[in-house]
Structure 1
Amino acid sequence: MTDFPLPSTQTVVKTAKTYSRDLAERVVSTGLEAFVGALVLTAPFDLTMWHNAAVAGAAAGGALLKGLAARWRDVTNSASLARGV
Structure 2
Amino acid sequence: MSEIHIPHANTVVKTAASYGRDLAERVGATFVVAAGGIAVAAGPGDMFHASFWQTMGAAGIAAAGSLLKGFVARAFGTSNSASLAKGV
Same topology, TM > 0.5: yes
Match of 1:37, as an amino acid?
Answer: V
Match status 1:10 vs 2:13: yes
Task: Provide the rounded CA distance (Å) in 1 between the counterparts of 2:17 and 2:51.
Answer: 38
Aligned twin of 1:23 = 26
Aligned pair partner of 1:60 in 59, 62, 66: 62
Structure 1: segments with no counterpart, 5+ residues: 1-6
- Cα RMSD, aligned residues only: 3.5
Q: Is the 8 A contact 2:33 2:66 kept in 1?
A: no
Deviation string for 1:45-84 (max 9, x for gaps)? Answer: xxx611111111112212333445536x61699833xx9x
Q: Which has the higher contact order (CA 8 A, sep 6+)?
A: 1
1:40 aligned residue (40, 43, 48): 43
Q: Conserved in 1, the CA contact under 8 Å of 2:37 and 2:58?
A: yes
> TM-score normalized by structure 1?
0.58
In structure 1, give the amino acid aligned to 2:83. A
1:38–1:56 contact (8 Å) kept in structure 2: yes
Q: Percent identity?
A: 9
AA aligned to 1:15 is: S
Structure 1 residues 27 and 52, CA gap change in structure 2 (3 angstroms): same
The number of aligned residues is: 70
Per-residue deviation at 1:10?
0.4
For 1:10, give the aligned amino acid: V
TM-score by structure 2 length? 0.57
| Stretches of 4+ aligned residues off by more than 4 angstroms | 75-78
- Where 2:83 maps in the other structure, the secondary structure is coil
